[in-house]
Amino acid sequence: MHVDLWNEMRSSSAGVFGMVIVAVIAGLALSAPIIAPSYRDIGPVFSPPSEEHLLGTDDLGQDIAAKLIHGARTSLMIALGVSLLSVVISVIMGGSAAMLGGTYDRVCMRAVDAVMSLPSVVVMILVAAYLRPNLWLLIILISLFSWPGGARIVRSQTLSLRERLHVMAARTFGASRRYLLWRHILPDLGPVLVAIMIQDARRAVLMEAGLAFLGVSDPMVVSWGRMMKQAMSFTYLDVWKWWLIPAGALLSLTLVGLSLIAASLERAMDPRLQEDV
C-alpha cells in the first residue's frame, strides 16, 4: 500500500486544521518549562484573572494557566507512549498471527477477543487501587487495552499483503517468515500503522482524562482531567469560569485535532472516500 500521506493530508482542509491544532498544543507542551516554569508557586487562592495570573489561581494558589500548559505535556506524553507501545504489540500479535496461522493464529485472536471483552476502566481502577497510579503505569495499562483493534487490522492487512508478488517472490527464494514480515510487509503497512497510532493516541488522551477525573492518577502530575475534577468541587464559588472551562476546552480541542487527522488519513487510504470531500 503506497500512499503519500503527507501530500494527501495537505490536500485535506480538515487534516491541515487538525495538524495545526495538535501542533499548537504540542508547542505549548514543549515550551512549558520556559513559559510556565513555576506553576507550583503558591500565591493567593481563588484569584480572578489578572496580568500576573491570566486565568487566576486555584484552591492552592497555583497559576491555572501554567497548570493548563503542563497538563498538555501530560496528555501528549500519554498519547505518544500509548500509541508507540500499543502499535508495537499490535504488529507483533497481528503480524505473527497472519504469518504463522493455524493454532497460533486462533490463540492470538481469542486473546484479542478476551482483552476486548474486559471492562477496561474497571480493571484500571482495580489495578490502580493496589499500585501507585503514576504516569508510566497509566501508559502501560492503557496500552494493554488499546492494542486488540490494531492487531486485527494488522492481521487482515498482512493476510492480504503476503499474497503480493514481491512477497511471494521473496518466499520463493527462501526468505523466512520473520524476514518477510519485517522487510516486505511492514513497510507497506506504514500508512495503516500511522492511522492506528493516531486512533490509539486519541483514545489514550480521552482515557487518561477520564481516569484522572475519577481520581486514578498521580497526584503529583498535572492533568486536565484532574484539574476538572478539582474545579467541580468549587462550582459554588464561581471559579469554574476560568478553571473548569479552559481545561475542558483544551481537552476537547486535542481530541478534535486528532479526530480530524484520523479522518483525513482514512480518506487518504480509502480511494472510495477521496471523491466525497
Per-residue pLDDT tens digits for 99-149: 888 899 999 999 999 998 888 888 888 887 787 778 888 899 999 999 999
The pLDDT tens digits of the residues spanning 165-189 come to: 777 787 777 777 777 878 778 888 8
50 in a domain, yes or no? no
The pLDDT tens digits of the residues spanning 2-48 come to: 456 666 667 778 888 989 999 999 998 888 888 877 777 777 888 88
Contacts of 1 (CB under 8 A, 6+ apart): 157, 161, 188, 189, 190, 191, 192, 269
Average pLDDT, integer, range 84-103: 91
The answer to whether 46 and 198 have CB atoms below 8 angstroms apart is: no
154 in a domain, yes or no? yes
CATH code for position 19: 1.10.3720.10
Taking the CA of residue 157 as centre, how many other CA atoms within 13 Å lie in the half-sphere pointing to its CB?
25
Measure CA 201 to chain center.
1
The answer to whether 191 and 73 have CB atoms below 8 angstroms apart is: no
Q: Which domain holds residue 214?
A: 5-41+55-273
178 in a domain, yes or no? yes
128 in a domain, yes or no? yes
48 in a domain, yes or no? no
Q: pLDDT value at position 277?
A: 43
Short-list 214, 217, 221, 237, CA closest to 59: 237
The count of domains in the chain is 1
Distance separating alpha carbons of residues 244 and 183, to the nearest angstrom = 49
Q: pLDDT value at position 108?
A: 92
Measure CA 273 to chain center.
24
47 in a domain, yes or no? no
Q: pLDDT value at position 6?
A: 65
49 in a domain, yes or no? no
Question: Which amino acid is residue 169, in one-letter code?
Answer: A
The pLDDT tens digits of the residues spanning 52-77 come to: 888 888 888 888 888 999 999 999 99
Distance separating alpha carbons of residues 253 and 21, to the nearest angstrom = 7
Q: pLDDT value at position 253?
A: 94
Distance separating alpha carbons of residues 64 and 61, to the nearest angstrom = 9
Taking the CA of residue 16 as centre, how many other CA atoms within 13 Å lie in the half-sphere pointing to its CB?
6
Distance separating alpha carbons of residues 157 and 87, to the nearest angstrom = 14
Kindly state the cell numbers that stand for 219.
Answer: 497526584
79 in a domain, yes or no? yes
Backbone angles phi, psi at 92, to 5 degrees: -65, -50
The helix, strand and coil proportions of the chain, stated in percent and rounded to the nearest 5, come to 75, 0, 25
Backbone angles phi, psi at 57, to 5 degrees: -125, 160
Helices 190-213 and 120-130 meet at what angle, rounded to 10? Answer: 60
Vertex 156 angle, CA 153 and 158, to 5°? 105
pTM of the predicted structure, to 2 decimals: 0.85
